[in-house]
Amino acid sequence: MRGQAVVAGVGHTRYGKLPGRDRIDLIVEAARSASADAGVEKERLDGVLVKMANSAPSILYGQKVAEALGLRPRVGAALDQGGAANIALISYAAMAIEAGLMEMALVCYGDTPRTGSRAVYHRPRGDDAVYGWYATAAGYAMIHQAYKQRYATPDEHFGAIAVQARAHGLENPMGHLRQALPMEAYLEGRCLIDPLRRNDCCLVSDGGAAVIVTSAKLARALGIEQAVPILGFGQGQESWDVHLRPDLTRTMAAVSAETAYAMAGLGPGEIDVAQLYDCFTVTVLQTMEDYGLAPRGQAGAFALAEGIGPEGALPLNTSGGLLSESGTPGLQLVIEGVRQMRGDARLQVRDPKACIVSNQGGSMHSHATLILGAPS
Amino acid sequence: MIPRPEITEVNRAYWDGLAEGRLQFQRCTACGAAWLPPRGACPNCLAPEPTWERSRGRGRLISWVVYRHAYADHLKERLPYNVAIVELDEGPRLLTNIVDSAEGHGFYVGARLTLALEEEEGLALARFRLAETER
């Protein structure tokens, strides 16, 4: 599959608190922007693949979205893998295009949990609610604790991820939270569920995002010059109950990355820039380690010593990630990866050859990996 | 009011057992695997009709968190409180509360634990305490 499919265009709305906006209207705005970016008419889109809206799951959602886009696509689907769904959909689009089911797909997402309901993130978790087991953040707090205890990790190692994300988001005019975060402020941050601090947790944002996936061949025929090749992808899934995972400090993200590296013919040493799903800081540390980008237990030390800014050893989440650009689940990371490879990112890394992007859902339940190359 | 567990044919024996002072888990009659939460079939070999077995009520601490924010009204007066993962010596894991310290003082991964059944609003709960003699 290496290089057979490309990302032909990207688009998104402003992120943050967007009162009065409908989630499907946000998708339409992002689609309009992605079509303009690719330079293709929306009638070219014969696939519409949408990530289920976290705050409002519904039946036949893909068809509702296609109707709002004025399309009767050949291929349509809505997927629920939590935050891993966007990259999963991009990979399914690439394969369906290769198989001849369609030629050009819109992969999209829009939601309004900031102005609407955040109840999904606070809900009781099954029968374990009798013990007070509530909220998405609690699963991450369990994982954060296990990691911290295993490696005797100083709090600054988690803080390094949040501080750098906010430094990057400060430069992003479309971003949700544009405010520097000094390490002292991170360390003093309020705890909701120990050991998580406020700034270990991502934003909750309204917004829409979309990318257009097509074959490298069609992109060439249409004269889309900045088409970004998809070099590899992979997935890995964990148990529903966080507490049943044999080792809380690692996940199937490692398998997801191995699959993507094998397809791309690349290893972690050849990754020039990374956009890693930072719903919580511990997720980034574990993903760096599962991806082979830092030694086990040392991702935070690596970030502090080697640098994760645009000039650092591993430029990471260069548009601010979920901690600063937008809490929307993951497509913004793909879009920033595409921009880095095209060379038109705001905090541009010098001449990158490969970008790895992670998406993950739930409390590290699902994981998907995407490796992007430079336009030829 | 604390939320009530949703009693089904699959988990009824678990909650009835707790009410009678027994923490039980399921064991597969075909492959011997042991697990919680209750299921209709073995997650290892998929054989149906697992049996119930009483746990000795000993285990170790895997991880824990301390809530400082109440995500439901009834939890406000409980703050702060901990939720912990316990692995029973027989293998199955469960979520629980450790009764010794709301804020987790003295907790560490691998700490030995003993079952400390409690009743709250008429519901029997499988809580645990630190087993000091075994430390």
Sign of the dihedral defined by the CA atoms of residues A168, A31, A375, A4, in that order? positive
The answer to whether ipTM exceeds 0.90 is: yes
For residue A126, give the chain B residue with the closest CA: B5
Distance CA A305, CA A257 (A): 24
Give chain B's radius of gyration (CA, Å): 16
pTM of the model: 0.96
Does B93 contact A at CB distance below 8 Å? yes
All residues of chain A having their beta carbon less than 8 Å from the beta carbon of residue B6 are: 127
Q: Which of B5, B67, B104 sits opposite A132 (nearest CB)?
A: B67
For residue A147, give the chain B residue with the closest CA: B63
| Pick from A195, A123, A282, A131: nearest CA to B84 | A131
All residues of chain B having their beta carbon less than 8 Å from the beta carbon of residue A122 are: 71
Sign of the dihedral defined by the CA atoms of residues B2, B7, B11, B14, in that order? positive
In this predicted structure, what is the pLDDT of residue A119? Answer: 84
Say yes or no for a CB contact (<8 Å) between A124 and B4.
no
In this predicted structure, what is the pLDDT of residue A1? Answer: 87
Q: Which residue has the tokens 């009709």?
A: B49
- Residue type for B91, please? G
Measured between CA atoms, how close is A237 to chain B, in angstroms?
Answer: 16
Q: What is the pLDDT of residues A141-199, one digit of tens each?
A: 999 999 999 999 999 999 999 999 999 999 999 999 999 999 999 999 988 999 999 99
In this predicted structure, what is the pLDDT of residue B135? Answer: 45
Kindly give the pairing relationship between strand A104-111 and strand A47-51: parallel
Q: For chains A and B, what is the number of CB pairs under 8 angstroms?
A: 89
In this predicted structure, what is the pLDDT of residue B133? Answer: 56
Measured between CA atoms, how close is B62 to chain A, in angstroms?
Answer: 7
Collapse the DSSP code of B123 into the 3-class scheme (helix H, G, I; strand E, B; otherwise coil) and give the result.
strand
In this predicted structure, what is the pLDDT of residue B134? Answer: 47
For residue A239, give the chain B residue with the closest CA: B43
Contacts of residue A210, defined as CB under 8 A and 6 or more positions apart, other chains included, come to A10, A11, A12, A27, A30, A31, A33, A34, A106, A107, A108, A109, A331
For residue A243, give the chain B residue with the closest CA: B85
Distance CA A287, CA A146 (A): 15
Q: What is the pLDDT of residues A72-100, one digit of tens each?
A: 999 999 999 999 999 999 999 999 999 99
SS (H, E, C) chain A: CCCCEEEEEEEECCCECCCCCCHHHHHHHHHHHHHHHHCCCHHHCCEEEEECCCCCCCCCHHHHHHHHCCCCCCEEEEECECECHHHHHHHHHHHHHHCCCCCEEEEEEEECCCCCCCHHHHCECHHHHHHCCECHHHHHHHHHHHHHHHHCCCHHHHHHHHHHHHHHHCCCCCCCCCCCCCHHHHHHCCECEECCEHHHECCCCEEEEEEEEEEHHHHHHCCCCCCEEEEEEEEEECCCCHHHCCCCCCCCHHHHHHHHHHHHCCCHHHCCEEECCCCEHHHHHHHHHHCCCCCCCCHHHHHHHHCCCCCCCCCECCCCHHHHCCCCCCHHHHHHHHHHHHCCCCCCCCCCCEEEEEEEECCCCEEEEEEEECCC
All residues of chain A having their beta carbon less than 8 Å from the beta carbon of residue B99 are: none
- Residue type for A89, please? L
Q: Which residue has the tokens 């993962």?
A: B85
Distance CA A265, CA A303 (A): 26
Whether omega for the bond prior to residue B80 falls within 30 degrees of 0, making it cis, is yes
In this predicted structure, what is the pLDDT of residue B25? Answer: 98
List chain A pLDDT tens, one digit each, 376 residues.
899 999 999 999 999 999 999 999 999 999 999 999 999 999 999 999 999 998 888 999 999 999 999 999 999 999 999 999 999 999 999 999 999 999 999 999 999 999 988 888 888 888 999 999 999 999 999 999 999 999 999 999 999 999 999 999 999 999 999 999 999 999 999 889 999 999 999 999 999 999 999 999 999 999 999 999 999 999 999 999 999 999 999 999 999 999 999 999 999 999 999 999 999 999 999 999 999 999 999 999 999 999 999 999 999 999 999 999 999 999 999 999 999 999 999 999 999 999 999 999 999 999 999 999 999 8
CA angle A333, A365, A359 (to 5 degrees): 10
Could you tell me if A359 and A325 are in contact, meaning their C-beta atoms sit under 8 angstroms apart? Answer: no
Distance CA A359, CA A336 (A): 13
Distance CA A92, CA A79 (A): 11
Residue of B36, B60, B62, B63 best to disrupt the A interface, most CBs of A under 10 A: B63
Sign of the dihedral defined by the CA atoms of residues A138, A140, A146, A147, in that order? negative
Say yes or no for a CB contact (<8 Å) between B4 and A138.
no
Does B94 contact A at CB distance below 8 Å? yes
Whether omega for the bond prior to residue A113 falls within 30 degrees of 0, making it cis, is no
Could you tell me if A7 and A227 are in contact, meaning their C-beta atoms sit under 8 angstroms apart? Answer: yes
Could you tell me if A368 and A348 are in contact, meaning their C-beta atoms sit under 8 angstroms apart? Answer: no
Sign of the dihedral defined by the CA atoms of residues A185, A187, A188, A189, in that order? positive
Q: Report chain B's terminal Cα–Cα distance, integer Å.
A: 36
Measured between CA atoms, how close is B85 to chain A, in angstroms?
Answer: 6
Q: Which of A129, A134, A145 sits opposite B63 (nearest CB)?
A: A145
Whether omega for the bond prior to residue B48 falls within 30 degrees of 0, making it cis, is no
Say yes or no for a CB contact (<8 Å) between B94 and A145.
no
Q: How many other C-beta atoms can be found within 10 angstroms of the C-beta atom of residue A325?
A: 33
The length of chain A, given as a count of residues: 376
Which element (helix H / strand E) includes B14?
helix B12-19
List chain B pLDDT tens, one digit each, 135 residues.
889 999 999 999 999 999 999 999 999 999 999 999 999 999 999 999 999 999 999 999 999 999 999 999 999 999 999 999 999 999 999 999 999 999 999 999 999 999 999 999 999 999 999 997 544
